[in-house]
Amino acid sequence: MSNKPIIISNWANGGTSDSLWSGIQDSLYRLVGMDVHTEPAVMKAEYKLSKDTSTTVTEFVKWQVVSSNGRTYHFSADSGKIWERDSAGAWTLVFTTTAAAGEVKCLGAIEFQGYIVWATQSRLHRILATNAEGSAEWTANAVLNWQTFGTTNASYHPMIEQNMNLYIGDGYNLAEWDGSTFTASALDLPTSLVIKCLGTLPVGTDILIGTEGNDVTKTAIFRWNTWSVSFTSSDMIEEAGINAFLKADNFVYVSAGQYGNIYIYDGQQLELYKKVQGTYSPAAKATVHPDACANLDGQVLFGMSNSTGNPCLQGVYRIGRHSRNYNWIMDLAYPISERSGSAFVTSGIEIGSIIVLGQKILVSWKNSSTYGVDLLDTSNRCDGAYFETRVIRADRLAHSTFSQFIMAYNSLPTSTALTLTYDKNYAGSYTTPTSSQVTDTDRKLITLEEGMEATALQLKVLFTCSTSSTPSLEMLVAYYT
């Protein structure tokens, strides 16, 4: 009986599958730290996230601001601390916020009309960006308790600029500053709702308001033209809150609830797009923090954070495609810099904020009592990046003999490697083959003659990188009878 091939390739059109067994054609069970978009039809390791903060940042950062003064500012969600990263990449604790009333942890921040504006529970504070370079200028020029909120919500004060005005969520009220006058209640929503995040549509001048409610299984998204006495439209949804508006180009993605659901919003209604792969339950939930989203060169990024029970892998996910000829696909593109030995840490993690800095991103995170801000390191690839196939079931009712595995590559630089392991019949862990991989540098094939019987087989390929060098894989083939 002749061998039959199972060919796994076309990486750029599949992305992460819906489960261990099911997904669109060419999808993979897991894609962690991989680059499938830069050169479609080949797979490489992505650039890595490297910790940029050493021990400077000692608390969880949920809001970050890229300033017109060439610096970035990072606001603690645990206290009034504010850190600055200058244009040379040096970090400094520049200020500690105090407030006349309420808690002092930062609940929102933005730069608007040349001012860096940040919010604590009951007060709004600001400093002119040109007078905010270093701790001495912050101490001399920060204007604390500049404005007072009406509702004084203790959880969220998201901010957005639209129509040359600044809008700030405060409980069920939306506050407004037009550059001269502060209005504590420019728009009020039902009192049972709390404004959690703000966004905009790709075209037009409306703003989007995401809420969570006292009824934890139902909330709403509102659209407002910024001048009418009431919102323009709303869409009620059976979810435990609108978490974040994900920054796409011609449409809006919305993270909602705690079961990994991503929706597309068409300006009127939410339609379920995809679920971040995981096993969710009342004891296993995850979320996206309001500022944990960004758009890097047209690729939509968002950070999955554990709420409880670690239902999914946590890190910076991507919804992207190479061009209009390809599918929009989802993958876990950027694991944070934390490691357990050589393994990625993808559980017990929170991603607080993602901002774009040129062609790089800054990602703030929390791992238990450890905190940091990572920078996309374009000098180093993500060593240890890997993908896992969905379960291969040549004949689920009978043993199939898998005799040979081949990895076809087009580039395998010095000190890099591709390593194949397998999980046979739902063993729950990957096994290193007993036979050795043989590399044919002429045909650029890595062959493994293992010979195993299985009714269900899953394969994992690990990418070993060397600084900026990564293997480039074209396809994985499994032969069976």
d(CA 155, CA 289): 12
Mean pLDDT of 57-84: 98
- Same structural domain for residues 21 and 111? no
Tokens of 290: 């309001």
pTM of the model: 0.96
- Same structural domain for residues 303 and 262? yes
Of the candidates 381, 407, 397, 414, the one whose C-alpha atom is nearest the C-alpha of residue 459 is 407
- Same structural domain for residues 284 and 410? no
- Same structural domain for residues 396 and 321? no
- Same structural domain for residues 210 and 277? yes
User: Could you read off the pLDDT of 323-382 as tens digits, one per residue?
Assistant: 999 999 999 999 999 999 999 999 999 999 999 999 999 999 999 999 999 999 999 999
- Same structural domain for residues 438 and 332? no
d(CA 278, CA 352): 20
User: Could you read off the pLDDT of 81-110 as tens digits, one per residue?
Assistant: 999 999 999 999 999 999 999 999 999 999
**457 Cβ contact partners less than 8 Å away, ≥ 6 residues apart:** 391, 392, 393, 394, 402, 422, 423, 424, 425, 478
Phi and psi at residue 270, to the nearest 5°: -95, 135
- Same structural domain for residues 20 and 141? no
Confidence of residue 215 (pLDDT cuts 50, 70, 90): low
Q: What kind and span of H or E run contains 136? A: helix 135-141
Give me the residue label for tokens 């920060």: 142
Is the pLDDT at 2 greater than 80? The verdict is no
How much of the chain is in helix, strand and coil states, percent to nearest 5?
A: 5, 50, 45
- Same structural domain for residues 345 and 358? yes
> Residue 378 half-sphere exposure, CB side, CA atoms within 13 Å?
6
Confidence of residue 202 (pLDDT cuts 50, 70, 90): confident
Is the pLDDT at 125 greater than 70? The verdict is yes
Cβ proximity of 302 and 263 under 8 Å:
no
Confidence of residue 250 (pLDDT cuts 50, 70, 90): confident
Q: How many structural domains are present in the chain?
A: 2
Tokens of 348: 């017990």
Tokens of 110: 């933005």
Q: Which domain holds residue 454?
A: 4-45+386-480
Cβ proximity of 319 and 296 under 8 Å:
no
Mean pLDDT of 44-64: 96
Give the residue from 381, 403, 430 where a domain finishes: 381
**Rounded to an integer, what is the distance from CA 458 to the centroid of its chain?**
26
Q: What kind and span of H or E run contains 112? A: strand 108-112
Provide the 8-state DSSP code for 46.
P
Confidence of residue 213 (pLDDT cuts 50, 70, 90): confident
- Mean pLDDT (the chain) is 95
- Same structural domain for residues 18 and 55? no
User: Could you read off the pLDDT of 400-456 as tens digits, one per residue?
Assistant: 999 999 999 999 999 999 999 999 999 999 999 988 999 999 999 999 998 889 999
Confidence of residue 3 (pLDDT cuts 50, 70, 90): confident
Confidence of residue 288 (pLDDT cuts 50, 70, 90): very high
d(CA 260, CA 276): 5
Neighbours of 455 (CB within 10 A): 17
Give the residue from 359, 381, 403 where a domain finishes: 381
User: What pLDDT is stored for residue 31 in this prediction?
Assistant: 98
CATH number of the domain where residue 466 is located: 2.60.120.260
Give the residue from 326, 359, 381 where a domain finishes: 381
Phi and psi at residue 138, to the nearest 5°: -65, -45
- Same structural domain for residues 70 and 102? yes
Of the candidates 410, 419, 471, 461, the one whose C-alpha atom is nearest the C-alpha of residue 45 is 471
Cβ proximity of 99 and 145 under 8 Å:
yes
- Same structural domain for residues 396 and 369? no
Is the pLDDT at 266 greater than 90? The verdict is no
Cβ proximity of 375 and 381 under 8 Å:
no
CATH number of the domain where residue 141 is located: 2.130.10.10
- Same structural domain for residues 358 and 404? no
Cβ proximity of 127 and 141 under 8 Å:
yes
Q: What kind and span of H or E run contains 140? A: helix 135-141
